[in-house]
Amino acid sequence: MALIHNTPTRTTLPRRWILGGWCLVLFAPLTAWCQSAYPQRPVKLVAPFPPGGTSDVLARVIAQKLGEGLGQPVTVDNKPGAGGNIGHELVAKAPPDGYTLVLSNSSTLLNNPYLYKRMGFDPLTDFAPISTVASAGQVLVVHPSVPVRTVAELTALAKSQPGKLNFGSGGKGIQSHISGEMYITAAGVNMVHVPYKGTIQAVTDLVAGQVQVVFSDMVPAMPQIKAGKVRAIAVTSTERSAALPELPTMIEAGVPGFNAGVWWSVLAPKGTSPEIIARLNAELAKVVKHTDVIDTYKRLGVNTEHSTPPQVLERVRAEGPMMVKILKEAGVDPE
């Protein structure tokens, strides 16, 4: 009788290991490719202020170059309202997949939490910061019918006619409003605040003579200054602007310690993957170093900037207490 030997199949388990190993070898690159394939469709960059304003103009400059770097179109979507809150809330509630971003600014991140009792987002916890991308001082402009050419003359006129001069701004809490309140406090004058839905609308009404004074962002003011439709008096930064080198700073013009400006940053919804944030940060670093972008910014009176993601929130936390002090001194209460 023949003996039957149950000889184990020696290749069964090793073969599985081998096949499994080959799967890892073959599919690991595919998995890595899938993770690094962002973006696979167009990206939306929300500009939370009206078309033609600084945020809109900067967003379009950034979007074009960022799209070239990402290999996908980056489209600008204007969502103005409530001092930038509407656009920010939309992005805060968007899927954290890297396809919806917002070009934020210091007015919304620093000022709005102290100006609005209810906001649909938290600037410090509802976003994944990517990088700062720009900063700029402002320019004090008046209607040509206002008989002043210096800050001292404006102060003297305002003191002689308390409550008669109107100053326009891009809205409550927007830097153009804060700068005006800072001047009123520092100079001891009384002017009436007229808020608009964006600084460009305030400048438009300044040209039309509906308001007499605006602390404007450089972008909407520059064309009107060059066309002679408004008169520039001073800049709000601590150093003179390369775009308007003939103008004194507010400090040079006799307002000690006056320093006001805006900075812009790109944010994504909270929960966006670190890999996507890193990719966008790297691309934005290239964007702000591009010669076309630098030249465009310079003509607009804007400085290029770049930072790490954590530095965006560090800046908000550092500058927040200063803004509280300014708002308190200006008597601006939350609504």
Query: Domain-by-domain residue ranges, the chain?
Result: 43-136+262-330, 138-235
What's the pLDDT band for 16 if we cut at 50, 70, 90?
very low
pLDDT in tens, 57-114: 999 999 999 999 999 999 999 999 888 999 999 999 999 999 999 999 998 999 888 8
Write the pLDDT tens digit of every residue in 183-239. 999 999 999 999 998 899 999 999 999 999 999 999 899 999 999 999 999 999 999
Residue with tokens 């940053």: 265
CB 307 within 8 A of CB 285: no
For the stretch 237-271, pLDDT in tens is: 999 998 899 999 999 999 999 999 999 999 999 99
Helix axes 175-187, 309-330, angle to 10 degrees: 40
**Percent of all residues in the chain with a pLDDT value above 90, rounded to a whole number:** 73
For 108-150, the pLDDT digits (tens) are: 999 888 888 889 999 999 999 999 999 999 999 999 999 999 9
Just give the CATH number of 138-235: 3.40.190.10
The two domains 43-136+262-330 and 138-235 share their CATH topology (first three levels equal)? yes
CB 45 within 8 A of CB 79: no
Residue 279's pLDDT band, with cuts at 50, 70 and 90, is very high
Q: What pTM was estimated for this model as a whole?
A: 0.80
Nearest in space to 50 (alpha carbons), one of 9, 25, 14, 83: 83
Burial 272-297 (b: 16+ CB within 10 A, else e): beeebbebbbebbeebbebeebeebb
Quickly name the fold that domain 43-136+262-330 has: D-Maltodextrin-Binding Protein; domain 2 (3.40.190)
Tell which wins on pLDDT, 21 or 330.
330
Whose structure tokens read 């210091």?
106
Tell me the percentage of the chain whose pLDDT exceeds 70: 89
